[in-house]
Amino acid sequence: MAILERSKWYDLARATNWTPRYVAESELFPETMSGSLGVERSKWEAYDEPYKTSYPEYVRIQREKDAAAYSVKAALERTKLLENAAPGWLSILKAHYGAIALGEYAAMSAEARMTRFGPAPGMRNMATFGMLDENRHAQLQLYFPHEHCKSDRQFDWAHKAYHSNEWAAIAARHTFDDLFLARDAISIAIMLTFAFETGFTNMQFLGLSADAAEVGDYTFSSLISSIQTDESRHAQIGGPALQVLLANGHKEEAQKRVYMGIARAWRIFGVLTGPAMDYYTPLSHRKQSFKEFMQEWIVGQFERSLIDLGLDLPWYWDKMIEEFDYQHHAYHLGVWFWRPTVWWNPAAGVSPDERDWLEEKYPGWNDTFGKCWDVITENVLKGNIDATKPETLPIVCNMSQLPICAVPGNGWNVRDYPLVHEGRTYHFNSEIDRWIFQQDPSRYRDHMTVVDRFLAGMIQPPDLSGALKYMNLAPGEMGDDADNYAWAEAWRNIAATRRAA
Amino acid sequence: MSMLPIISNFQGDFVLQLVAVDSENTMDQVAAAAAHHSVGRRVAPQPDKVIRVRRQDAQAFFPQDARIGDLGVQPMECLEFIFTDAA
Ligand SMILES: [Fe+2]
Ligand SMILES: [Fe+2]
């Protein structure tokens, strides 16, 4: 049977729209689900997706991608990578799987919402493929770590994390619920595909795949690059939606969604990718600091796509760029210090050589974050491990759900950004987090942070053991120092003068 | 006597922390309670200094012997803990 070439029918198909006769337009595409901001549907037909594909083409390519990823995995299953990999690399894998795998299912639901309620036919078409993509990502990233569960229970958190009240899982859920699971189709197009995917994950997955190849983890490298090729396609759903909104006088609403999306995505990147790049990745494999990565790929590239669309840079742009110098260092210190509360083993990454690298990439690191690590290092060397662990909870931001933290030592600039709303005081990590809350207080006001829950008596007994139980962290799952403190031993023979230098 | 949770922002530390004190505690006792979670963990001790307490954005410190319950400090108010020269 002869099949028409795609170019012969695609434009007709993509402009084909429903003309409802039995129900009102507003019932078929309710504003709460569709979010078209009152732009008529005929105007949405101008939506022009840059990446055009048909279902048979999609299936053929996806089948090849899946076959390639699974065959690399099968071929390398017996290579004992896990036994030989640097502990920090294993931590990157565990943190990644737990934080991302089920988030892909949430993204699938979000794509499904665009598939059903997207006001433009081309958008619904692209989102259908996006939905299938995200399902594939969830399944791959649950299946790949599964083989390791029998030897290491922390890998079980690929599936378990989102079903727990572990604090980082709460932070991930809160962010993803806000950016895409609990949004209308157009907001999803902007906040998930444009802000989060174009702005962050597409680039991050490129980098992560390269890093995996660099450390010799070809299974993970091929998995991540397989996912990234989907991402680079469906991330393009948001751009044309923004163009339609801009053409119809909705720049402000469109921009606001972009700004909220970037701000929230940045926090998740700060806590996951920041420590991975600057502390967990073995020194010999580091190519770029997290800050350099953020400046080159996120600021450089993303700034251009904002400007190309005719959008203004966010009001907080300079402030966010300032945070590249310190926020992830603070998150790393927090994750390491509260390590029993995470499902991976954080690598401290502060051996003498690593600290030299940090000082070179972040001048002043020794005088700020280094001051805290000096105290920690001394305690480790004295065998006083208890003093390197917490006895209380950090205060958690009412937006990011991450600890409120900043620069310690001689650059001390930590502070609370409080807000009283309807008689309740909320605490934020920065003006940016507080601004997001203020855009829609009723959306956020009832959520309780881990600290709020603790104070409400929901965590029993009210101490660290109760908190670990509440977070569902069993022995063998709780994090500990990835290198069993070997990094501190290197300090024993180093003259104190060097540390001061 | 009642439990009062406050937020400790300890000079030189990197994170805000939850500290439970008693409304009857003096500010010196409150400072000691906050120091327990910072000094010797991530902040180097400064034995020749006194740790004074103030509200965020305030210049003046609370009197060392004042009881926190008498000062109008709200539950979960963020207090700063600062190393100062002994008087
Ligand atoms: Fe995905
Ligand atoms: Fe995606």
CA of A103 to the centre of ligand 2 (A): 10
Asked whether residue A223 is domain-assigned, the answer is yes
Strands B17-22 and B78-85: unpaired
Exposed (0-12), middle (13-18) or buried (19+): which is A367, by Cβ within 10 Å?
middle
Q: Cα separation of A98 and A160, whole Å?
A: 7
Q: Where are the alpha helices (DSSP H) in A406-471?
A: 431-439, 441-444, 450-455, 464-470
pLDDT band at A27 (very low <50, low <70, confident <90, very high): very high
Site from A373, A451, A454 to mutate, B interface, most B CB atoms within 10 angstroms? A451
Output the average pLDDT for chain A.
93
Asked whether the beta carbons of A417 and A430 are under 8 A apart, the reply is yes
Sign of CA dihedral A345, A350, A353, A354: positive
Assign 3-state DSSP to chain A and report helix, strand, coil percentages, each to 5.
Answer: 65, 5, 30
φ/ψ region of A351 (left if φ > 0, alpha if ψ in -120 to 50, else beta) reads beta
Site from A328, A332, A376, A416 to mutate, B interface, most B CB atoms within 10 angstroms? A416
Note whether A171 contacts B: Cβ–Cβ < 8 A: no
Q: Which residues of B touch A414 (CB under 8 A)?
A: 9, 13-16
Q: How far apart are the first and last CA of chain B?
A: 30
Note whether B46 contacts A: Cβ–Cβ < 8 A: no
Asked whether residue A435 is domain-assigned, the answer is yes
From residue A336, give the alpha-carbon distance in Å to each of A91, A329, A372: 12, 11, 12
Note whether A330 contacts B: Cβ–Cβ < 8 A: yes
What is the SS3 assignment for B30? helix
Query: Is A414's CB within 8 Å of B18's CB?
Result: no
Q: Residue A231's pLDDT is what?
A: 93
Instruction: Reply yes or no on whether the pLDDT at B48 is more than 60.
Output: yes
CA of A197 to the centre of ligand 2 (A): 6
CA of A189 to the centre of ligand 1 (A): 14
In chain A, what percentage of residues exceed pLDDT 70? 98
pTM of the model: 0.96
Class of domain B3-85: alpha beta
Query: Is A392's CB within 8 Å of B19's CB?
Result: yes
HSE at residue A15, side-chain half, CA atoms within 13 A, is: 7
pLDDT band at A79 (very low <50, low <70, confident <90, very high): confident
The H or E element containing residue B21 is: strand B17-22
- Counting DSSP H helices and E strands in chain B, the numbers are 1, 4
Q: Which residues contact A170 (CB under 8 A, 6 or more apart)?
A: A401, A449, A450
Of A375, A394, A454, the CB nearest to B15: A394
List pLDDT tens digits, range A125-168: 999 999 999 999 999 999 999 999 999 999 999 999 999 999 99
Strands B3-10 and B78-85: parallel
φ/ψ region of A313 (left if φ > 0, alpha if ψ in -120 to 50, else beta) reads beta
Dihedral pair phi/psi, residue A216, rounded to 5°: 90, 10
CA of A134 to the centre of ligand 1 (A): 5
From residue A30, give the alpha-carbon distance in Å to each of A27, A347, A435: 5, 48, 28
Instruction: Reply yes or no on whether the pLDDT at B77 is more than 90.
Output: yes
pLDDT band at A501 (very low <50, low <70, confident <90, very high): low
- Long-range contact pairs involving A313-321 (C-beta distance under 8 Å, separation at least 24): A314/A258, A314/A259, A314/A262, A314/A263, A315/A259, A316/A259, A316/A263, A316/A431, A316/A432, A316/A435, A319/A430, A319/A431, A319/A432, A320/A262, A320/A263, A320/A266, A320/A432, A321/A295
Number of other residues whose CB lies within 10 A of the CB of residue A471 = 22
Q: Which two tokens stand for residue B29?
A: 């006792």
Instruction: Reply yes or no on whether the pLDDT at A499 is more than 70.
Output: no
Instruction: Reply yes or no on whether the pLDDT at A353 is more than 60.
Output: yes
Q: Which residues of A touch B7 (CB under 8 A)?
A: 395, 416, 427
pLDDT band at A497 (very low <50, low <70, confident <90, very high): low
Query: Is B15's CB within 8 Å of A393's CB?
Result: no
Choose the weakest-confidence range: A39-43, A71-75, A191-195, A298-302: A298-302
Which ligand is nearest the CA of A104, by number? 1
Q: Where are the alpha helices (DSSP H) in B21-71?
A: 27-36
Asked whether residue A309 is domain-assigned, the answer is yes
Asked whether the beta carbons of A447 and A173 are under 8 A apart, the reply is no
Q: Cα separation of A305 and A326, whole Å?
A: 26
pLDDT band at A463 (very low <50, low <70, confident <90, very high): confident
Q: Cα separation of A88 and B13, whole Å?
A: 25
CA A194 to chain centre: 14
Would you tell me which residues 370-429 of chain A have a C-beta closer than 8 angstroms to some C-beta of chain B? 371-372, 374-376, 379, 387-388, 390-395, 403-410, 412, 414-416, 418, 425, 427
Asked whether residue A22 is domain-assigned, the answer is no
pLDDT band at A498 (very low <50, low <70, confident <90, very high): low
Residue span of the structural domain in which A232 resides: 35-500
**Averaged pLDDT, A311-331:** 97
List pLDDT tens digits, range A474-493: 989 999 999 999 999 999 87
Asked whether residue A93 is domain-assigned, the answer is yes
What is the SS3 assignment for B49? strand
Number of other residues whose CB lies within 10 A of the CB of residue B74 = 11
pLDDT band at A409 (very low <50, low <70, confident <90, very high): very high
| Angle, CA A255 vertex, CA A254 and CA A259 arms, to 5° | 125
Q: Residue A496's pLDDT is what?
A: 55
Radius of gyration of chain A (CA): 24
Number of other residues whose CB lies within 10 A of the CB of residue A148 = 19
Query: Is A372's CB within 8 Å of B43's CB?
Result: yes
Q: Cα separation of B20 and B6, whole Å?
A: 6
Asked whether residue A384 is domain-assigned, the answer is yes
Residue type, B38: S
Q: Which residues contact A450 (CB under 8 A, 6 or more apart)?
A: A165, A167, A170, A393, A396, A401, A459, A467
Note whether B18 contacts A: Cβ–Cβ < 8 A: yes
Domain of A135, CATH number, reads 1.10.620.20
Quick check: bond before A461 cis, omega within 30? yes
**Averaged pLDDT, A184-206:** 91
Q: Cα separation of A155 and A171, whole Å?
A: 19
Choose the weakest-confidence range: A281-285, A384-388, A451-455, A493-497: A493-497
Q: Which residues of A touch B12 (CB under 8 A)?
A: 371-372, 408-410, 412
Split into its structural domains, chain A has a count of 1
Dihedral pair phi/psi, residue A211, rounded to 5°: -60, -40
